[in-house]
Structure 1
Amino acid sequence: MKLTKPRLSFWQIFNMNVGFLGIQYSFGLQQTAINPIFLYLGAPEDMLPILNIAGPVTGLIVQPIIGAMSDKTWSPRWGRRKPYFLIGALIGSLCLFAFPNSPVLWFAVGLLWLLDVGNNMAMEPYRAFVGDKLPEKQLSLGYQMQSLFVGAGILLANGSIILFQKWFGGDIEVAGKIPQWLYYSFYIGGILSITTILWSVLKTPEIPPTDKELADINHSKSLGFAHRVKEPFTEIIDAIKDMPKFMWKIAGVYLFQWYALFIYWQFITPLFRQTLNYSTSEAAAQAAKMNTTYNVVTMLVALALVPLTMKFGGKKVYALSLVGTAIALFSIPNIQDPNMVLIPMVLFGIGWAAMMGIPYTMVSKVVSQERRGVYMGILNMMIVIPMGIQTLSFGPIYKYLLGGVATNAIMFAGVFFVIAAVLALRLNEPNTSVDEVDIEEN
C-alpha cells in the first residue's frame, strides 16, 4: 500500500522539532551538572558510574514500551505520539525544579531516576514523530534538525551553568551542600521542558493512521486489560525477532560509541580536577565550557551534514566523524591550557551532530511505518544497554585497571570511538525506504 506524505516546508520541520530543545536542555544538565552535584553531596569518583545507572535502566524499560504503546495509540484530538511526550515533559519539568534542592545524595539519585523516566518518555515517541511526518527525501533534514536542537538545548544548559557560576559562584564550597548558583539552570530547564513541547504540539498536526492501522488500533483497544498490558512486551519481542540485519550492525557501533560517551560525561569534571588542579566548581564550569563549545559546533554543522551524507553516503560521514571524536578525546588530557583545550571540541561537535542524526535517518528507511515507534525504542535500547554495561563495569576498570586516573579514562574512551568508527564502515545503507512514498508539494 502506498503511503502518501506531503512535503513540509523548512519552518514546518523547524516547528516540529522545537520540543527537542527542552528535552535536550534537560539532558545537557545531566551531562554537565548531575555528576558535580553527586560530588558536592559526597559521592566518591569511582561511584559515579553506578550512580548513573538510572539512565540506562529507565531507557531500556521505558523507551521500547512507550514506543510500542504509541504505535497502538490514536486520538483525533491528541494524536499518536503527542500524549506521551507531553506527559514525559511534565514529569521532567517537576524533577528539574526539585533537583537542586536535594538535601542528601540518595535523594538526588532518586530524582535522577524520575527525571530519566520523564526524558525517555518524551524523547522516544519524538523520534518516531519525525519519521511519521516526513517523506523519505526529507528524513535527513528532519533528523539533522533534531540534531541542531540537541546542540541548542545542551548549549543553553551549559551556557547557563557558565554564566551563573561566573555571576553568583563566588561562595566557598561547603561539603554536602549544592551551590546556590546551580539552582537557576535547573529552574530554566523546568520551564523549557514543558513550553517547547507545547510549541511543537500546537504547531504540528499528526498524520492520521491508515484504515488498516486504525483497525489494528481499535482491535487492540477491544482486548482485555491483561492482554493490553502484555501487548507492548509481545510487540518488542516480535520486533526484535524480525529486526533488519542493518540494525544489528548499528548495535555493534552503538556498543562502543555510547560506552565511550558515558565515560566522557562522567569523567570530564574529574579530569580537570587532575589536569588543571581545579576545585569541583571550577572543574564543573570548565566542563560546561567544553560542552558548550561542542554543542555550538553541532548547531552550526548539523544541517550542513545533510548534503554531505547525500553526496558521500551516511556511513562514510558517520565513520569519519567518530574518528574525529576519538582524536578529540586523545588530545584533551594532554592540554593544560583551559582555553586551548576547547579546540578539540570542534571535532567532538561534528561527531555529536552526526551521532544525533545520521543513524536515525538510516534506520527510518529500513523499518515500516506501523512499527516505527517500537523500532525507535529498540534503537534507543541499543544506546542504554552500552550505558548500563558501562555503569556496572567501568567503576572497577577505572579503579583497578586505569589506576583511578581520570586521564586514563578519557583515553580509554578515545580507543572505543576508534573501534566504533571501524564498525560503522560495515553499515550498508538501504537505497530505498521500506514504505513506498509519494511526495506531494504543498
Structure 2
Amino acid sequence: MKAIKPRLSFWQILNMNVGFLGIQYSFGLQQTAINPIFLYLGAPEDMLPILNIAGPVTGLLVQPIIGAMSDKTWSNRWGRRKPYFLIGALLGSLCLFAFPYSPVLWFAVGLLWILDVGNNMAMEPYRAFVGDKLPEKQLSLGFQMQSLFVGAGILLANGSIVLFQYLFGGESVEEAGTIPQWLYYSFFIGAFLSLTTILWSVLKTPEIPPSDEEMAEINRIKALKLGQRITEPFLEIIEAIKHMPKFMWKISAVYLFQWYALFIYWQFTTPLFKLTMGYTTSEAASQAAKMSLTYNTVTMIVALALVPLTLRFGGKKVYALSLVGTAIALFSITYISDPTLVLIPMVLFGIGWAAMMGIPYTMVSKIVPQSKRGVYMGILNMMIVIPMGIETLTFGPIFKYLLGGNAINAMLFAGVFFVIAAILAMRLKESNNQMI
C-alpha cells in the first residue's frame, strides 16, 4: 500500500531545494566560463565539443549508478539521498577552487572530469529527493521550485562573471595561455556555495524513512558479498530499462534533439559573438554571460508561473510550445549584432529553460514506483548525457566540414533541432499508468 505523504508548506519546499542553487551555480560556470578557459589555454574552436565530453561520460556512468545505490541506502543519521549529494558537493567545491589555477589545457580538462563527477553525484539524488518527499499534487511545485533555483544559480554565476570583469578586467590585454584573474572570483564563490547550500537543505529537511518492504530490500543488499553489492546497481539499471515506461522511451526522443541543441548553444555562444560582433574572447565570454544572465532571470520569474499553466493546459503542450520559443530565440540571435538587442530573444529561451528543467521531471516522477525513483531519475538523466555525448563526438566534424566552421551556422543548426524536439514533444501522452 502506498504511504500517504504529508503536504509541505511553500517554505519547506523552498528549503528542500536551496541546495540546487550551489549545484546550478557550478553548472552555470560550466556553461559560460569553462569553454572560454579552454580557449584562453589554447584550444581550437573545433575541439570544444570533444573537450566537453566529460559531462556526457560521467553523467552516463555516475547518475544511474548513484541513483540505484541511493534507492538501497538508509542511515538513521544521514538518510537516503543526502550522503550522495553531500559528497558530490564537497568534490565539486574543491574542483571549483582549483579551476582558475589551471596552468595548461590538459589540467583544466582533467578538473572538468572531476567536477562533473561531483555535480552528477549531487544532482541525481536531488531529483529523487524531491519525489520522495512530496505528494503527487505538489510534485509540479517541487520540480518547478528546482527550476527556479536552476535559474538563480546560473544567474548568480553569470552575474558574477559580468561584475568581476567590469570591476577588475579593465582594459587588460589577453595573454595566450593565461586565465584572467578577474575570472578567479566567480569560481571561489562557486566553491563556497556548492557546499553551504547543500548543507542548508540537509540540515533543514529530514528524509522519510523507508517502508518495511524497502527496509527489507536494503538489508538484503547489505547482506550480500562485496562483489555482489558492487554489481547489484548495474543489474538494477538493466532491469529498470527492460521495464521502463513507454512514456520515458518517447521523452528520450525529445531529449535527443533538445540536449544536442543545448550543448551546441553553450559551446558556440562565445565563438558566435566573436564572429557577429567582432569581439575578443574576453568580450565574447562576457556577452555570453549576459545572455545567460538574461535567460536565467526570466527562468526565475516564470518557473513557478508554469505550475498553474501545466495544471490547466497539460505539461505536454506547455513543454512543446516552450521548445518552439527556444528555437525562435536561437534563430534570432544569429542575425542580431547589437549587444543589447540580442538579449531580447533570451526571454523566450528563459521560458524554455524553465520548462525543460521542471516539466519532464514532474511527468516522469508521477509514473515511476517510489522504490525505484532514484534509478529511474538516473536513467532520465542518461537520456540527457547520451545526446550530449553524441554531440561531443559528432559536432566537431559537422561544424568544421558541413557548416564551414561558422558559428552562425552552428546556432541555426541548433534551432532546427529544437523545432524537431517540439514536434516530438507533442507525441507525449500524459497518464498516471504508463508502465505498460
TM-score by length of 2: 0.99
Aligned residue in 2 for 1:104: 104
State the SS of the aligned residue for 2:4: strand
| Distance in structure 2 (CA, Å) of the matches to 1:428 and 1:113 | 36
Alignment of 1:41-120 (within 5 A): 41-120=41-120
| Distance in structure 2 (CA, Å) of the matches to 1:312 and 1:59 | 32
Aligned residue in 1 for 2:194: 193
Could you tell me which runs of 5 or more consecutive residues in structure 1 were left unpaired when the two chains were aligned.
435-442
| Distance in structure 1 (CA, Å) of the matches to 2:158 and 2:22 | 13
Aligned residue in 2 for 1:250: 251
Residues 139-179 of structure 1: CA distance to partner in whole angstroms, max 9, x if unpaired?
A: 00000000000000000000000000111112211000000
State the SS of the aligned residue for 2:222: helix
Aligned residue in 2 for 1:406: 407
How many angstroms does 1:4 deviate by?
Answer: 1.1
Aligned residue in 1 for 2:18: 18
Could you tell me which runs of 5 or more consecutive residues in structure 2 were left unpaired when the two chains were aligned.
none
State the SS of the aligned residue for 1:277: coil
Which amino acid in 1 is paired with 2:386? Answer: I
State the SS of the aligned residue for 1:3: coil
| Distance in structure 1 (CA, Å) of the matches to 2:236 and 2:18 | 30
| Distance in structure 2 (CA, Å) of the matches to 1:47 and 1:381 | 23
Aligned residue in 2 for 1:394: 395
Aligned residue in 1 for 2:295: 294
Alignment of 1:211-250 (within 5 A): 211-250=212-251
TM-score by length of 1: 0.98
Which amino acid in 2 is paired with 1:402? Answer: L
| Distance in structure 1 (CA, Å) of the matches to 2:409 and 2:184 | 32
| Distance in structure 2 (CA, Å) of the matches to 1:430 and 1:3 | 21
Aligned residue in 2 for 1:416: 417
Which amino acid in 1 is paired with 2:228? Answer: H
User: Is 1:331–1:344's contact at 8 Å kept on the other side of the alignment?
Assistant: yes
Paired residues, what number?
434
1:136 aligns with 2:136: yes
Aligned residue in 2 for 1:344: 345
How many angstroms does 1:433 deviate by?
Answer: 9.3
How many angstroms does 1:137 deviate by?
Answer: 0.1
User: Is 1:364–1:433's contact at 8 Å kept on the other side of the alignment?
Assistant: no
Residues 69-102 of structure 1: CA distance to partner in whole angstroms, max 9, x if unpaired?
A: 0000000100000000000000000000000000
Which amino acid in 2 is paired with 1:159? Answer: G
Which amino acid in 2 is paired with 1:102? Answer: S
| Distance in structure 1 (CA, Å) of the matches to 2:183 and 2:45 | 20
Aligned residue in 1 for 2:2: 2
Which amino acid in 2 is paired with 1:58? Answer: T
How many angstroms does 1:3 deviate by?
Answer: 1.5
| Distance in structure 1 (CA, Å) of the matches to 2:424 and 2:376 | 21
| Distance in structure 1 (CA, Å) of the matches to 2:186 and 2:33 | 9
User: Is 1:144–1:353's contact at 8 Å kept on the other side of the alignment?
Assistant: yes
User: Is 1:136–1:433's contact at 8 Å kept on the other side of the alignment?
Assistant: no
Alignment of 1:281-320 (within 5 A): 281-320=282-321
Residues 237-262 of structure 1: CA distance to partner in whole angstroms, max 9, x if unpaired?
A: 00000000000001000000000000
How many angstroms does 1:373 deviate by?
Answer: 0.2
How many angstroms does 1:430 deviate by?
Answer: 1.4
State the SS of the aligned residue for 1:365: helix
Residues 245-300 of structure 1: CA distance to partner in whole angstroms, max 9, x if unpaired?
A: 00000100000000000000000000000000000000000000000000000000
Aligned residue in 1 for 2:147: 147
State the SS of the aligned residue for 1:74: coil
Alignment of 1:358-377 (within 5 A): 358-377=359-378
Alignment of 1:258-297 (within 5 A): 258-297=259-298
Aligned residue in 2 for 1:157: 157
How many angstroms does 1:432 deviate by?
Answer: 6.5
Which amino acid in 2 is paired with 1:247? Answer: M
Aligned residue in 1 for 2:325: 324
User: Is 2:102–2:108's contact at 8 Å kept on the other side of the alignment?
Assistant: yes
Percent identity over the alignment is 83
Aligned residue in 2 for 1:207: 208
| Distance in structure 2 (CA, Å) of the matches to 1:242 and 1:433 | 11
Aligned residue in 2 for 1:439: none
How many angstroms does 1:2 deviate by?
Answer: 2.2
Which amino acid in 2 is paired with 1:66? Answer: I
How many angstroms does 1:37 deviate by?
Answer: 0.1
